[in-house]
């Protein structure tokens, strides 16, 4: 077998735009012959994949897998919503969610995990990009586990089992019957999907978020013209309200909009005759935090048709 040098991999990558590992594999498959490796990449559709890598991928699917007392969730993005309906893409997201149960949440480690049909997750993703024709990316993963109890999932806008636009995992620690935990967990997960709590309790809210709210509350208090001692109470009252409304256990349960979630859990525990603790939760909403590119669709169509008007020359 011919020696594959770093220089040859670099040259092939520059000439084709393909990923480094794909270039290395192409050279290995073709005894180090550059032109043959280029043809190999073109035949696999991999040289085109890199060209798509710069396009914004903010659609796609959230996938969930639960096994025993463990649950994993991943987000895989694509450029358009049409890809979410593609069976090949759906299979990929489902398989990666299952792999996250074994390999954890580190995206690099998950990308290097062996994919069920051969190769790695990263290689399978590259093949998807080539075949489907859109940029795709494995964005994030989460894993919850309890020693005793249940990890319960909920998927909103489900397009296939365990796949949708919003995914939630809830970890309940308890010796209560599985049926009780699954029903309670499902209700809490649905609440989380709708109410979007930012932490389990008010004390667990990110400090930078609380300080930002403090600054906003202080500005409001100043503008009110109230005396300093009253303004301080207004600030503390505003922060208390913020903590209550954004922490899961103090939020009002969406099913009746009057009972705190903590009381819902306590009632279920009393009925089951066993303590129930909400250990943790995680919520993924597809594309949250991704800045989507804004485009002029009419201009794109005109440009594609060759009818776009030239810009006037000053």
Which domains does the chain carry?
6-52 (1.10.8.10), 59-203+247-285 (3.30.479.20), 206-245 (1.10.286)
- Per-residue pLDDT of 95-136, as tens digits, reads 999 999 999 999 999 999 999 999 999 999 998 988 888 889
- Per-residue pLDDT of 138-166, as tens digits, reads 999 999 999 999 999 999 989 999 999 99
Does residue 307 have a pLDDT over 50?
A: no
Instruction: Please report the pLDDT score of residue 77 as a whole number.
Output: 93
Instruction: Please report the pLDDT score of residue 197 as a whole number.
Output: 96
The winner for highest mean pLDDT among 23-27, 54-58, 71-75 is 71-75
Instruction: Please report the pLDDT score of residue 182 as a whole number.
Output: 97
Distance CA 52, CA 79 (A): 10
CA dist 56 → 20, 135, 136, 138, 153 (Å): 21, 8, 9, 13, 28
Distance CA 20, CA 42 (A): 15
pLDDT tier, 292 (very low <50, low <70, confident <90, very high otherwise) = low
Q: Which residues of 30-50 are buried (b: 16+ CB within 10 A; e: fewer)?
A: bebeeeebbebbeebbbbbbb
* Angle, CA of 136, 140 and 143, to the nearest 5°: 140
- The position carrying tokens 């990929």 is 92
Distance CA 12, CA 37 (A): 8
* Angle, CA of 186, 190 and 196, to the nearest 5°: 135
For the entire predicted model, the pTM comes to: 0.74
Is 96 in contact with 121 (CB distance < 8 Å)?
yes
Residue 295: how many CB atoms within 10 A of its CB?
Answer: 9
Instruction: Please report the pLDDT score of residue 312 as a whole number.
Output: 41
CA dist 111 → 96, 108, 126, 140, 145 (Å): 9, 5, 11, 11, 22
Q: Which residues contact 68 (CB under 8 A, 6 or more apart)?
A: none
Instruction: Please report the pLDDT score of residue 288 as a whole number.
Output: 86
* Angle, CA of 127, 90 and 120, to the nearest 5°: 40
Per DSSP, 213 falls in state: H
Least confident of 138-152, 170-184, 238-252, 300-314: 300-314
């Amino acid at each position: 077998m011919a020696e594959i040098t770093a220089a040859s991999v670099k040259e092939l990558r520059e000439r084709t735009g393909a990923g480094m590992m794909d270039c290395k594999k192409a050279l290995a498959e073709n005894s180090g012959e550059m032109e043959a490796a280029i043809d190999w990449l073109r035949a696999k559709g991999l040289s085109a994949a890199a060209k798509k890598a710069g396009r914004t991928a903010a659609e796609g699917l959230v996938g969930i897998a639960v096994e025993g007392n463990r649950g994993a969730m991943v987000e895989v993005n694509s450029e358009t919503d049409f890809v979410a309906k593609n069976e090949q893409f759906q299979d990929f997201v489902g398989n990666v969610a299952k792999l996250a149960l074994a390999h954890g949440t580190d995206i690099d480690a998950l990308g290097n995990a062996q994919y069920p049909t051969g190769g790695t997750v990263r290689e399978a993703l590259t093949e998807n990009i080539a075949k489907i024709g859109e940029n795709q990316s494995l964005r994030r993963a989460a894993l919850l586990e309890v020693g005793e109890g249940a990890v319960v999932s909920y998927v909103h806008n489900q397009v296939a089992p365990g796949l949708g636009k919003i995914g939630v995992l809830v970890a309940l620690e308890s010796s209560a019957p599985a049926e009780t935990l699954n029903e309670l967990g499902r209700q809490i997960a649905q609440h989380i999907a709708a109410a979007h709590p930012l932490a389990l309790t008010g004390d667990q809210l990110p400090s930078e978020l609380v300080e930002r709210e403090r600054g906003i509350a202080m500005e409001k208090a100043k503008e009110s013209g109230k005396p300093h001692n009253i303004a301080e109470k207004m600030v503390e009252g505003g922060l208390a309200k913020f903590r209550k409304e954004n922490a899961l256990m103090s939020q009002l349960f969406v099913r009746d909009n009057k009972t705190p979630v903590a009381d819902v859990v306590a009632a279920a525990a009393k009925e089951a005759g066993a303590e129930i603790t909400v250990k943790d939760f995680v919520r993924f909403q597809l594309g949250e935090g991704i800045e989507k590119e804004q485009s002029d669709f009419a201009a794109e169509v005109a440009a594609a048709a060759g009818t776009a008007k030239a810009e006037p020359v000053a």
